[in-house]
Amino acid sequence: MIRENSNVILSVRNLTAEVEGTPILNGVNLEVKAGEIHAIMGRNGSGKSTLSKVLAGHPDYKVTEGEIIFQGENILEMEPDERSLKGMFLAFQYPLEIPGVSTLDFLRVAYNSQRKQQGLEEMDAFDFEDLVEEKLELVKMDPSFLERSLNEGFSGGEKKRNEILQMALLEPALGILDETDSGLDIDALKIVANGVNQLAKPDNATVMITHYQRILNYVEPDYVHVMRDGRIVTSGGKELAQELEERGYEWIEEEAVSEVSAQ
Amino acid sequence: MTATTAKNLIDQPYKYGFVTDVESDTIPKGLNEDVIRMISAKKNEPEFMLDFRLKAYRQWQKMNEPNWFHASYSPIDYQDISYYSAPKNNDSEKKQSLDEVDPALLETFEKLGLPLSEQKRLSNVAVDAVFDSVSIATTFKEKLAKEGVIFCSISEALQEYPEIVKKYLGSVVPVGDNFFAALNSAVFTDGSFVYVPKGVTCPMELSTYFRINSGETGQFERTLIVAEDSSHVSYLEGCTAPMYDTNQLHAAVVELVALDDAEIKYSTTQNWFAGDENGKGGIYNFVTKRGKCQGKNSKISWTQVETGSAITLKYPSCVLVGDNSVGEFYSIALTNNMQQADTGTKMVHIGKNTRSKIISKGISAGNSTNSYRGLVKMGPKAHGARNYSQCDSMLIGDNAEANTFPYIQVDNDTTKVEHEASTSKIGEDQLFYFAQRGISEEDAVSMMVSGFCQEVFNQLPMEFASEADKLLSLKLENSVG
Ligand SMILES: Nc1ncnc2c1ncn2[C@@H]1O[C@H](COP(=O)(O)OP(=O)(O)OP(=O)(O)O)[C@@H](O)[C@H]1O
Ligand SMILES: [Mg+2]
């Protein structure tokens, strides 16, 4: 929900980043305020996942220019775990399988790392299980997943739900969902969308990277941005997503080209 | 984690690297028959022992150092090693009381986390503490004696129970078995001896702690464990050494004999000094460990957590002679920096319906090389024998190497051999996933490594499982990026 005087959670200014000398982000500008839901769309390879990983501090990418102000602080020098503890959450497009580490242990250590950061005592195993069971409800996951190795052998949809489960547990200030809707069946899509809606609060914000209008029918974005060649080239309201669904990306690219030549 | 892909591998400093200042009785460097006679005389050994040594020495002289393994090192000059070093004030005759042991030695073991004194020692583990070439103390001897269990140094056993030693020594690993075993048979100075009589279940864990202190002595200890019919024993071996920038040779021989329905569980946590991050110094650990399931329904189980040494060549093996006997091998081998490990097992099935199981977990970090080498052999009479092997490798970072060399030889077609292998990786993406959830690199590595090793940890005696887990985390601190 857009409100005039809410806090800025994330402010990205002229962000450029490269991988081994190849530029991938070419000056991204984005401002996200508390209470807002943003959608980022764009063709394959336009830099959406890269943007999310650069925000979260993935070591493969080198930021060459610009700044990322998160919760009032420039986080460019922060390690990924510090950014996480500061309230940034990234639901991965392709969550990794981690054999040998149970989902429950992973969740507990993550949760307790956050408590430690807040100066709170670690939660014991029993209380934690109660807490997790409550969160499992939200994404309608069976408790039997907790005993299994993290994401190992999970179906595509199960992995995505597991990401939302983690977000529910960590209650971040900013949740970035990278194609969490891809690969979900219709029921799962509704469950995940419902989860995201329930987690959206006036004091947090959500950025959803997606290719499809479908999820936006359930999770209504306040803003829709389109990325192209490592830049946000167009922004608008939710009707922009509708238009993209109908007309594809070409018309935007043409407009962008004419804009450039007009300059 | 920084933006660079692979951080320099800086290991946690080796905390057992101190040297104890004791006066020792060390014989001059070099090896010949006179040296062997001198060792045997110093230890006041029975005649058969000297013959055993000389026979081994003569065979060794005709043998060549092996070079088939996946490791490389500069040649060892066997004339530049001293073959006997004993702290003075500690005669080869065993001390009756701890009061007579040099306090500096007691302090050393205390620093190693292994207090020997009555008040502080572990309550349910009997310990034989070996310092350089000799055993300095064995705890809980009387309590064990009540059950008829003999647990003492092999030197003492040669004085007190020569008949048992004579019967079994060399019966599993013959004097000329291999280059290093032959050398050990010629020059070994001490080690542990365990004898569990018929029907007895040993009331506590038995443990030997090997400490190399001297810089120029080789350590050649000899362990012999005999489990009579229907007896049970669990034995644990631990090792550390100071940090020298030269290499020390450790060439031990361990022989286990299990008679009808007997069970021996042998666990090792090996943390010899591994050399520095550039590969300077460290222990050469060339060990022959073999168990013979001589009786029917007997069982021998090896569990090892190998974290140290510059070079490890080690294949704890089982010879399954008795029908229905069982051999097991559970192994974690961790290498970091410039370490090289070539380790695995041999399961030799001779009797009917014999079974063996191999679970090997290799973790390689830094620029290390970690190879599993295993042999499963089904003899012509091993009707119905079965083997299951699982070899998993975990790579940490981009510069480590893992290899698997499983050899299978089947001479009986009623047998069944299964082999599974997997490779996983702790790389940047895995660490990033954990970090993105607020989990530090250290916690992430230790969670992934413990998870990877769980199956083997489960085999360790309770007291040592968490210790081993901690040891692995310590060894890997700052090793990834
Ligand atoms: N680590 C990397 N190494 C090399 N190239 C990379 C790397 N990461 C991203 N790229 C390249 O950067 C471009 C943007 O990739 P990115 O994954 O951000 O696209 P995306 O918008 O998320 O696409 P999709 O919709 O397919 O998920 C692609 O051309 C990709 O190949
Ligand atoms: Mg993507």
Q: Which of B1-5, B110-114, B156-160 has the lowest mean pLDDT?
A: B1-5
Side-chain half-sphere CA neighbours of A13 within 13 A: 8
Distance A44 CA to ligand 2 centre (A): 7
Query: Taking CA B262 as the corner, what is the angle to CA B307 and CA B343, rounded to the nearest 5 degrees?
Result: 25
Residue B10 pLDDT > 60: no
3-class DSSP state for residue A182? coil
Which residues from chain A sit within 8 angstroms of residue B428, using beta carbons? Answer: 58-60
3-class DSSP state for residue B167? helix
Comparing alpha-carbon positions, the chain B residue that sits nearest to A64 is B3
DSSP string for residues in A28-56:
EEEEEETT-EEEEEE-TTSSHHHHHHHHH
How many whole angstroms separate alpha carbon B110 and alpha carbon B112? 5
CB B202 within 8 A of CB B149: yes
Establish whether this prediction's ipTM goes over 0.85.
Answer: yes
How many whole angstroms separate alpha carbon B256 and alpha carbon A44? 63
Candidate from B5, B435, B443 with C-beta closest to A80: B435
Residue B24 pLDDT > 50: yes
Best A90, A98, A120 residue to mutate vs chain B (most B CBs within 10 Å): A98
Q: Please report whether residue A32 resides in a domain.
A: yes
- CATH code for the domain of A86: 3.40.50.300
pLDDT computed for residue A179 by the predictor: 95
Given CB atoms, is A76 within the 8 Å cutoff of chain B? Answer: no
Domain extent, residue A33, equals 8-98+175-256
How many whole angstroms separate alpha carbon B371 and alpha carbon B310? 14
* Count of structural domains, chain A: 1
Q: Which two tokens stand for residue B127?
A: 């310990």
Interface list for chain B against chain A, based on CB atoms closer than 8 Å:
1-5, 424, 428-430, 432-441, 443, 447-448, 450-452, 454
- Residue whose tokens read 């109660």: A130
Q: Please report whether residue A169 resides in a domain.
A: no
CB-based burial of residue B2 (10 Å sphere; 0-12 exposed, 13-18 middle, 19+ buried)?
Answer: exposed
Q: Which residues contact B265 (CB under 8 A, 6 or more apart)?
A: B233, B234, B235, B300, B301, B303
Q: Is A94 touching ligand 1 by the criterion CB < 6 Å?
A: no
Mean pLDDT for chain B?
83
CB B327 within 8 A of CB B358: no
CA dihedral of B166, B170, B172, B177, whole degrees rounded to 10: -170
Best B437, B439, B450, B454 residue to mutate vs chain A (most A CBs within 10 Å): B437
Q: Is A230 touching ligand 1 by the criterion CB < 6 Å?
A: no
Which residues from chain A sit within 8 angstroms of residue B450, using beta carbons? Answer: 100
Q: Which residues contact A84 (CB under 8 A, 6 or more apart)?
A: A56, A170, A172, B435, B436, B437, B438
Long-range contacts of B166-170 (CB under 8 A, 24+ apart): B166/B46, B166/B48, B168/B224, B168/B226, B168/B255, B168/B257, B169/B52, B169/B222, B169/B224, B169/B255, B170/B52, B170/B255
CB B53 within 8 A of CB B186: yes
Distance A27 CA to ligand 1 centre (A): 16
3-class DSSP state for residue A226? strand
The residue whose C-alpha atom lies closest to atom 5 belonging to ligand 1 is: A19
Q: Which of B21-35, B226-240, B331-345 has the lowest mean pLDDT?
A: B21-35
At A171-208, the pLDDT tens digits run 999 999 999 999 899 999 999 999 999 999 999 999 99
Q: Please report whether residue A55 resides in a domain.
A: yes
pLDDT computed for residue B120 by the predictor: 61
Contact state of B451 with A62 under an 8 Å Cβ cutoff: no
How many whole angstroms separate alpha carbon A87 and alpha carbon A170? 8
C-alpha pair distances (Å), A226 with each of A40, A139, A214, B214: 6, 29, 16, 70
Most confident of the following: A71-80, B84-93, B205-214, B338-347: A71-80
How many whole angstroms separate alpha carbon B125 and alpha carbon B235? 9
Given CB atoms, is A151 within the 8 Å cutoff of chain B? Answer: no
Instruction: Give the pLDDT band (50/70/90) at residue B7.
Output: very low
Residue B206 pLDDT > 70: yes
B367: nearest Cα among B284, B277, B286: B277
Q: Please report whether residue A243 resides in a domain.
A: yes
pLDDT computed for residue B481 by the predictor: 45
At B244-295, the pLDDT tens digits run 666 677 889 999 999 999 999 999 887 766 667 776 777 788 889 999 999 9
Contact state of B430 with A117 under an 8 Å Cβ cutoff: no
Candidate from B4, B430, B437 with C-beta closest to A110: B437
Return the ligand number nearest the Cα of A42: 1
Contact state of B437 with A101 under an 8 Å Cβ cutoff: no
CB B357 within 8 A of CB B387: yes
Cross-strand pairs, B353: none
Candidate from B1, B450, B451 with C-beta closest to A79: B1
Given CB atoms, is A110 within the 8 Å cutoff of chain B? Answer: yes
Domain ranges in chain B are 3-476
| Surface of A (117-146) touching B: CB under 8 A | 117
Cross-strand pairs, B420: B390
**Sign of the CA dihedral running B170, B174, B178, B184:** positive
Q: Please report whether residue A65 resides in a domain.
A: yes
Chain B: nearest CA to A262, how far in angstroms? 38
pLDDT computed for residue A16 by the predictor: 97
At B433-466, the pLDDT tens digits run 999 999 998 889 889 988 898 888 888 777 667 6
Ligand 2 (ion): residues with CB under 5 Å are: A 48-49, 93
Instruction: Give the pLDDT band (50/70/90) at residue B15.
Output: low
A177: nearest Cα among A167, A191, A190, A188: A167
- Count CB neighbours of B17 within 10 A: 14
Instruction: Give the pLDDT band (50/70/90) at residue B240.
Output: low
| Strands of A58-116, DSSP E | 62-70, 73-74, 88-91, 98-102
Q: Please report whether residue A116 resides in a domain.
A: no
pLDDT computed for residue B3 by the predictor: 24
CB B430 within 8 A of CB A98: yes
Give mean pLDDT in consecutive 10-residue pieces for chain A, a chain of 263 residues.
86 96 96 96 95 96 96 95 97 94 96 95 92 94 95 94 96 96 91 94 96 90 95 92 84 67 55
